[in-house]
């Protein structure tokens, strides 16, 4: 049995935490991703995938890539593209070297156990009915929420 | 009066037993609801599987109690001369082991998450055109979910004392585990909201230590009772006060010189073997029978009382000199 004082200590903690919530952003990023990329550089990994993401003459385009450019603009950021294989890109987002990964990844992705994944968005042009997600660093919940809010407005 | 082995339960206990059965059914119904509701809110699969297994295991003590209740009413027979009261003792063991597994699973999950430095990810949901952080929704669901087991735990603890029932005592610990786990996950989700990623794992680790402790003490107590340790109070902390009362009662009889009792707990009622050394070489049947009745009258838990005249007390019961 938990000592009496301990179980009594959990309950008064709740309003304290709620109070803290008023003074802080909820949710917030433990590593401060959104604060860092806003007005700065958004490092995006892209794996090539049909109409969604393609590469011409060193520049990345496609419907999903355009969506990312628009999101970057909404937070006043400039996109820095890294093109590569999906697994390698996911490793980089996990280690903090990338902020976002795209490329026809669906809501069935097994990466959900390793990194942060947005909700699925079925309405992206060129997705051929697939419900697409984007990959973000694990636990960067404010950045994730900001991205999902943008996608809700744009494609939902 | 309610039939109870080869006797009948006093009104107070019969009423307590009825309420205990009701609260056990309520607990099972509650778990069925929470399993369903939580499935809609919590997205992350691995944590969800563990939570499900925990929820299902948490009904084991309740199921064990409801089954045991069916058996303890049975009359004593030639095949089952002690009745079936041990069913409660067996249920107590089931409850203790269930607590160990639930606490162990939770401890493993939360500690391995902390060690791996997992940053839990909680995104948003789209509700009626608004994008809302899923954490708020989780807290909104967890708060009402955490409340019923808080009251279940208190009621079960009270009933366990009224019914001298250790299975209910273990089940009270399970209900306590239920609400504390929920409270811990509320603290954890809010912690994630503020960017304190480790608070979820830390709160769960703290709570799981308590559940594991309850499980180990209950399992140990059940095993000790099943291996016929002297009867104790429901919390297993001290010898049952009835042992002294029985010896006092018998010692007051004019024909009795020495008394030694073996009292074992059959899960909720006592099996008493009282050795008496008479002052004279002869004892009348009347004296023996009325001595038995006096002991049985001490408490409703005196289900089986044997008064055994002896020329001297068994070695382990003799007063130490």
pLDDT band with cut points at 50, 70 and 90 for residue B286 = very high
**Which of A10, A28, A137 is facing B195, going by the closest CB pair?**
A28
The C-alpha of B146 sits at a distance from chain A's nearest C-alpha, in angstroms, of: 12
Residue B320 has pLDDT above 60, yes or no: yes
Tell me what pLDDT residue A113 has: 85
B13 and B99 within one domain: yes
Same domain, B182 and B70: yes
pLDDT tens for each residue of B226-274? 999 999 988 888 999 999 999 999 999 999 999 999 999 988 899 999 9
Torsion angle, alpha carbons of B3, B8, B9, B15, to 10: 40
Same structural domain, B117 and B79? yes
Looking at the structure, tell me whether residues B109 and B222 fall in a common domain: yes
Contact: A119, B173; criterion CB under 8 Å: no
Q: Are B81 and B10 in contact (CB under 8 A)?
A: no
Q: Please indicate, yes or no, if residue B232 is contained in any of the structural domains.
A: no
Is the Cβ–Cβ distance between A112 and A99 less than 8 Å?
no
**Residue-wise pLDDT tens digits, B29-84:** 999 988 887 777 665 545 566 777 778 888 999 999 999 999 998 888 999 998 89
A98 touches A111 (CB < 8 A): no
Mutate to test the interface with B, among A4, A15, A17 (most CBs of B within 10 A): A17
Residue B99 and residue B134 in one domain: yes
Do B176 and B295 sit in the same domain of this protein? no
Whether B254 and B120 share a structural domain: no
- Complete edge-to-edge strand list for the sheet that includes strand B270-278: B256-265, B270-278, B302-309
pLDDT digits (tens, 9 = 90+) for A89-133: 999 999 999 999 999 999 999 998 889 999 999 989 988 889 999
Nearest to A145 among B133, B173, B184 (CB): B133
In angstroms, the separation between the Cα of residue A132 and the nearest Cα of chain B is 15
Q: Is the pLDDT of residue B93 over 80?
A: yes
Q: Which of B149, B150, B169 is nearest to B158 (CA)?
A: B169
The last residue of a domain, from among B191, B226, B261: B226
Q: How far is A125 from chain B (nearest CA, A)?
A: 20
**Full domain range(s) for residue B257:** 241-309
B19 within 8 A of B154, measured Cβ to Cβ: no
Show which residues on chain B lie within 8 Å of chain A, measured between beta carbons: 44-46, 118-126, 131, 133, 135, 173, 176, 180, 183-184, 186-187, 190-197, 203, 206-207, 209-210, 213-214, 217
Dihedral-angle region of residue B86 (phi above 0 means left; psi in -120 to 50 means alpha; beta otherwise): alpha
Let me know: does B75 contact B85? Beta carbons within 8 Å: no
Is B96 domain-assigned? yes
Residue B204 placed within a domain: yes
CA pair distance A21, A101, nearest whole angstrom: 30
**Averaged pLDDT for residues A5-27:** 63
pLDDT tens digit sequence for A20-69: 555 567 899 999 999 999 999 999 999 999 899 999 887 899 999 999 99
Q: Confidence band (pLDDT; 50, 70, 90) for B145? A: confident
Residue B314 lies in a domain: no
In this prediction the ipTM stands at 0.82
pLDDT at residue A147 greater than cutoff 70:
yes
B7 and B108 assigned to the same domain: yes
Q: Of B45, B195, B210, which is closest to A29 when you measure between CB atoms?
A: B195
| Substitution target from B120, B131, B206 for chain A, most A beta carbons within 10 A | B131
Whether residue B252 sits in one domain with residue B127: no
- Which of B226, B253, B274 delimits the end of a domain? B226
User: pLDDT-derived band of residue B1, with 50, 70 and 90 as boundaries?
Assistant: very low
Q: Which residues pair with B278 in a beta bridge?
A: B256
CATH of the domain at B110: 1.20.1510.10
Do B39 and B161 lie in one domain? The reply is yes
pLDDT of A60-92, one tens digit each?
999 999 999 999 999 999 999 999 999 999 999
Q: What is the DSSP string of B120-189?
A: ----EEEETTEEEEHHHHHHHHHHHHHHHHHHHHHHHHHHHHHTT-HHHHHHHHHHHHHHHHHHHHHHHH
Best of B44, B125, B135, B194 to disrupt the A interface by mutation (most A CBs within 10 Å)? B194
Are both B174 and B265 inside the same structural domain? no
- Percentage of chain B beyond pLDDT 70 is 94
Average pLDDT over residues B216-225: 94
Write down the residue that tokens 């890109």 correspond to: A89
Strands B7-9 and B124-127: unpaired
């Amino acid at each position: 049995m938990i000592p009496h004082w301990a179980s009594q200590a959990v309950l008064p903690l709740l309003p304290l935490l709620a109070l803290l919530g008023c003074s802080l952003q909820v949710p917030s990023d433990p590593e401060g991703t959104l604060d860092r990329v806003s007005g700065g550089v958004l490092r995006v990994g892209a794996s090539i995938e049909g109409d969604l993401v393609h590469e011409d003459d060193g520049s990345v385009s496609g419907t999903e890539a355009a969506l990312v450019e628009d999101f970057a603009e909404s937070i006043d950021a400039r996109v820095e593209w890294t093109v590569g294989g999906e697994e390698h890109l996911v490793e980089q987002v996990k280690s903090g070297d990338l902020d976002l990964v795209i490329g026809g990844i669906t809501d069935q992705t097994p990466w959900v156990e390793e990194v942060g994944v947005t909700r699925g968005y079925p309405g992206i042009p060129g997705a051929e009915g697939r419900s697409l997600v984007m990959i973000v660093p694990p636990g960067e919940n404010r950045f994730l929420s900001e991205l999902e809010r943008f996608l809700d407005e744009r494609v939902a | 009066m309610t039939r109870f082995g080869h006797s009948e339960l006093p009104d107070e206990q019969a009423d307590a037993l009825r309420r205990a059965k009701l609260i056990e059914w309520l607990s099972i119904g509650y778990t069925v609801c929470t399993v369903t509701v939580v499935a809609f809110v919590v997205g992350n699969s691995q944590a969800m599987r563990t939570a499900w297994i925990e929820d299902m295991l948490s009904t084991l003590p309740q199921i064990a109690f409801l089954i045991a209740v069916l058996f303890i009413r049975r009359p004593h027979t030639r095949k089952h001369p002690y009745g079936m009261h041990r069913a409660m003792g067996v249920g107590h063991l089931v409850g203790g082991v269930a607590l160990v597994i639930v606490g162990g699973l939770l401890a493993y999950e939360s500690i391995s998450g902390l060690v791996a430095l997992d940053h839990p990810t909680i995104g948003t949901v789209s509700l009626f055109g608004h994008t809302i952080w899923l954490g708020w929704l989780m807290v909104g669901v967890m708060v009402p979910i955490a409340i019923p087991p808080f009251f279940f735990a208190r009621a079960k603890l009270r009933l366990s004392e009224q019914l001298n029932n250790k299975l209910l005592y273990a089940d009270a610990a399970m209900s306590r585990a239920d609400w504390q786990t929920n409270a811990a996950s509320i603290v954890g989700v809010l912690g994630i909201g503020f960017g304190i990623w480790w608070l979820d794992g830390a709160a769960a680790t703290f709570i799981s230590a308590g559940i594991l402790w309850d499980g180990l003490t209950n399992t140990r107590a059940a095993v000790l009772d099943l291996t016929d340790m002297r009867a104790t109070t429901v919390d297993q902390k001290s010898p049952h006060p009835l042992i002294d009362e029985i010896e006092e009662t018998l010692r007051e009889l004019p024909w009795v010189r020495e008394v030694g009792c073996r009292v074992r707990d059959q899960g909720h009622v006592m099996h008493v073997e009282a050795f008496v050394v008479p002052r004279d070489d002869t004892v009348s049947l009347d004296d023996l029978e009325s001595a038995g009745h006096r002991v049985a009258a001490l408490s409703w838990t005196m289900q089986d009382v044997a008064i055994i005249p002896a020329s001297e007390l068994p070695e382990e019961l003799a007063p130490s000199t």
